[in-house]
Structure 1
Amino acid sequence: MNHIRAGLFILLIAGLGGCSGVRTTLVGAPPPPSSPIQPDAPAAPAPASLPSSLPSSLPPSLPSPSGLDDYKTQVARHVLQHNPNLAFSGTLPPLMPAIVVLRITVDRQGQMTGVEVQRSRDANASRVAVDSLWRSLPLPPPQRLAQADGKLTFSETFLFGERYRYQLRSLEPPQAGE
């Protein structure tokens, strides 16, 4: 098992090193109405417009995160709860079809104020990752982790298996040697 995890870590690092440039997707520009990805179970539709489509209620009250890693774990669980048909369970294949790293900015209420694709070689996987965040809004509030400007920026890695299903790096145990 440790051999597999070590191999995945090496592939992750190697794959990220050769990724294409950054493509930015701002929250103010909602995703297109449909995605080329057709998972086994239909996903919830992407929001049609920013102001009218965002839920007004916050997610259930969670304990204040003890640090950034704890907050990222809360967000990852929240995203998977809102996208259960896209979750990949089990061991990821040795050669993952896609790895997407997103840079996410949230305000004190957990609303996304920005998201950008930092690393990706697969535009469809990038769209699945960004759309998953849209369907999950609002995210858990960062509470005391928000900076003086009221925002928190962090990265999350989507590790894709088959059929554009993913696991989130923040929920995976540390790789061998970490």
Structure 2
Amino acid sequence: MPPPSRTLDAYKVEVAQHVMRQNLDQTFSGRLPPMLPAIVVLNITVRDDGEVEDVEVQRSRNDNASRVAVASMRRSGKLPKPANLLAGNLRRLTFSETFLFDHQYRFQLRSLAGPQ
């Protein structure tokens, strides 16, 4: 098990790697297309034990892509624990992740994606 992340950005990279591993059939790698047909921003709330408590669409213009993004988060199961990122007695962390879609509704995550 990797050591706990010390920054939110490092945690988001860990989560993105986990989500990509759990959804290999829904992802693509390599260079992003010049014109992304769909971009979805999700707000994700994770409990201190790594359990996903809530996933909601913050921004999207494509209902199909939104459904794929939310389903992919749900399918990912428990996420890495955000232990070092919880302030005081908070037992949950909310953060955003951006799903970048190609024309086949396969995605990359902004936290891992290279230049476009």
Confirm or deny a common fold (TM above 0.5).
yes
Aligned to 2:31: 91
More helix, by proportion: 1
Q: When the two structures are aligned, how many residues end up with a matched partner?
A: 115
Identity between Structure 1 and Structure 2 (%): 55
Question: What SS does structure 2 have at the residue aligned with 1:109?
Answer: coil
| Larger RCO, structures 1/2 (Cα 8 Å, 6+ apart) | 2
Pair 1:122 & 2:68 matched: no
Tell me if the contact between 1:108 and 1:143 (Cα under 8 Å) persists in the aligned partners.
Answer: yes
Aligned to 1:65: 5
Aligned to 1:44: none
Larger Cα Rg: Structure 1 or Structure 2? 1
Q: Quote the Cα distance in structure 1 between the aligned partners of 2:103 and 2:30.
A: 11
Pair 1:162 & 2:116 matched: no
Q: Quote the Cα distance in structure 2 between the aligned partners of 1:164 and 1:146.
A: 33
Aligned to 1:137: 77
Q: Quote the Cα distance in structure 1 between the aligned partners of 2:112 and 2:70.
A: 18
Deviations 1:105-159 (A, max 9, x none): 1011111111110000011100100100111110111111123321111000000
Aligned to 2:22: 82
More strand, by proportion: 2
Q: Quote the Cα distance in structure 1 between the aligned partners of 2:36 and 2:82.
A: 31
Tell me if the contact between 1:104 and 1:154 (Cα under 8 Å) persists in the aligned partners.
Answer: yes
User: Structure 1 unaligned runs (5+)?
Assistant: 1-60
